[in-house]
Structure 1
Amino acid sequence: MGREIQQCLASITDEQRKVYDVVMDAVTNDSGVMFFLYGHGGTGKTFLWKTLSAAVRSNGEIVINVASSGIASLLLPDGRTAHSRFGLPINVHESSTCSISQQSPQAELLIRDDKPFGGKVVVLGDDFRQILPVVLKASRQDIVHATINSSALWNFCRVMKLTKNMRLQSYNDGEASIEIPDDMLIGDSEDPFRDLLEFVYPDLLSNMYDRDYFQRRAILAPTNECVESLNDHLMSLLPGEEKVYMSSDSMCRDEHTTEDNAEIYSTEFLNTIRCSGVLSHVLRIKVGAPVMLIRNIDQARGLCN
């Protein structure tokens, strides 16, 4: 934890450092302050939470990292969803209660006195501009009333802001800030497809086991066909035997599906469908090929988004 906090503090911005100092002062003095960190995407909210988490843990304190969704919880050390950590029901209404028994270890961890959040230092964070709460058939007034700053707890909250985009700063300062040579312009090369791959992934075979090599590079493609062509070509460059896996496509058997539809939409036809959100019928991979998962399969084994 000591090494991690030093690495984080070496990359922290002046704006984030001010927030860090204020929160850590509240933790050190056990003042039980409630903070709300407001900033749009890319300003480093998650990075700051990781930094605070490492700093508090290095002092032997307990940190509870809670996110609104399963995918967001994976970005935090030992992250858990709010429903899991606080025992919240999936469908929340006015008479909902948390399923935490009074004598349980979870209650001992969370509840200390009658102050908001048991008197613990709490750091909330979000971007008000991203999404409003969903209230069915509600008026503007009802939606505004459901927002977090209409909560009774908001009066106890100290709001802090982040405005500088960390991603743009790292782009300007890092090696990603490179100029594309004139011969890489579209239409100026005899084989732009090959040249593009060699430009983005130089010395691929020598760097294929370097995680940072792939994290710093990406090709944005307009269609799934382009993505498949790029993947197939790069896969052909990797050594080893190719393994081919095929999907198992079939029509859903329900009251809306007739036997005629099942015959019209045959398995062979379903295998040819190429559209957004539908996986390709054929998956070709090799041992050592980098794979990005888009869903959580087995989080304990690291097979997660």
Structure 2
Amino acid sequence: RTAHSRFKLPLELTEESLCRITKNTQLGKLLADTNFVILDEAPMNDHRCFEALDRSLRDIIDIPSSLFGEKSVLLGGDFPQTLPVKKGASKMEIISSCIFESALCPSFKVFTLKHNMRLTRPDISLEERSLVNSFASWLLDVGDEKIGEPADEDPENTSWVHDPPVYCLPPDEQDIINSKVLDMVAGESTIYMSQDEATPTGNDGVETEMLYPIEHLNTFKLPGFPPHQLELKFGAPVMLLRNVNIVSGLFLLFRLPIKMELSTIAQLNPNSTKKTLKAKIYRKWVAKSPPEMTPYAYYCIFLDQEGNAIQANMALKDTDYFDVKLQMGMAYRISNFSCEATSRYQQTLENETSLRFGRYMNFDAISTTTFPHDYFHFTSYNQLESKLPRHDSTGKIQYPALTDYIGCLRSTGTISDFGNPNIRQGVRRKIEIENLKFKARYEYTPPLTIYKNPHKDVQQDNTRNMFPLKTIMDQNPQSYKGIRFTAEATITGINMNKDWCYISCHKCGKAAVVHREDYSCLDHGPQPGPFFSCEQSHGTRMYRAGRKKKIPPEILATQEKHAIIQFQFNTLGNLTDLSLDAVYDVQKQEHNTASNIQEINKGTPSSASAATNEPTDEEDNVQKDKEKYTAGEGVTQQLSHSTVIDAAKNNKESDKQQGTSAKRTLFDQQSTESKKHKKDWKLRNHLCKHK
């Protein structure tokens, strides 16, 4: 800070001037707590500056009789250099304003610096040390008036000094040295171009433009002015040639490195400030509000080198300015922008942070070689339902971000009206898109071998129709209606916005009607209530399900666990998702399967019974409901694009070929028990209908 800025010194000084500082202000308290004051380049200041500071400190500290309020003051400077600078002053006025003419001068003790600290640097060579020493000696001789040349018009005036070439470089060599220093700094350089123009005087504007074209002005190299093409890098040192912002410390001859923090899109948040971003413009458009399609803003999407995307928001009035400033496919170093929270209305990206651009931003064009060419936010077919607008806990509609989807356009409908015509009516068009991914899979994916009938052994049935999850997802869901699959996977999360169970009829699959705690189907009568079983250390326990919105903690505990899951394709709605039937622990299932295979190899029947405690009343009621109302699961259904193997028939032919029952496969079932099983189900279904 300069002395006038820090101590609030008046520009017009008198013998009775004071600093504009009062006791109870923040600056007054700061000076009261200060113990040491350093004033550099003191010989260049008027002695009345120090006298005004002395009077002000005595008043603030309340010690009128002590010099500078008993504060220690250090004045630094070289007296053989420049004297105080006063506009339009004579030689006598300049000398009389020097600090030696002040009454405070005898109170200071003079210390002379005798050692050149630049010579003590260990990293300079002997030649550089000799050059620095000779320059310091020459500079002292100039100050002591030991070196001087007589002027041509006044031979007795020896104040002219001839600068040796080694101490003063010509402009061309200065540019070469600056280029070499800039090459030593790592990083990518940016070239800043000057904007030169000749200011006309009076009415000679046309003549001025003809005599001084811009191309000619760009060739000027004036002392104290930067070149037309100024090349800079982050970390390169620069020196200010004039006062830019004295309050912030940016004043004449101030040295500072170019520092600017580069950020990525992932590091930004709505509260980020003073950031610099390297990004490539990917899309730009004028946002419009339906149904009138009224423009209200100008938007852009930027990509960084990591492949992340962020939206930039601009005012509608600045559309023409930014449309020319930001070119599609170009990359920029962007600074002086602000961040804000992403608006949910017509949200284009999942990023919670957006950029806010104004006209006072900086855009520096950079290379696009390290940036991605495209950006898409693809959604799979099974995830489209999660992209629908939903109501939050307060009843407000939450609109999801726009998504990208690859498909085959099958048909387009006509434009139709929707919404309330008295309030806000819009138009829409129905478009049917076929999933290209599934279409290609269906044409080239071979059908799976399916075992539909359940096994007698529980452990064998738990591995029925077991395939890798990717293989199952490559199949056409419409061809496997009602088929239970088994796969080994990890449940990464549970959708808390949907019901955890669907209470339906066991025959037709329609939703059951709920009356208090009873469930019934309009076509097939009473139905069992929802229940689920959970295997515990002491056995398997049955639980009645509560509300559909409240997911049981036993089901929530399956998240982030690697397990064996059993599920079916749910093809009743518009979108195909999975209906989960059971979840088994992988280690327990592998142990049970290994034990089962050992018993089969020994020729002994497998044991599927589990040690359980006595069932509670609730478990007993659930089991009775299940036995009373569960429909027949052994009915064979003809499937397209798949091979259904009748387990009973297959095992019967296998028995004839092998000639012994000890070599039956894991899918063995007795034909007589299967027929009896079907008769029992027919009888139960008949009783249910009759009841």
Give the TM-score, by structure 1 length.
0.48
Q: Which has the larger radius of gyration?
A: 2
Which structure has the higher relative contact order (CA within 8 Å, separation 6+)? 1
Higher helix proportion, which one?
1
Give the TM-score, by structure 2 length.
0.23
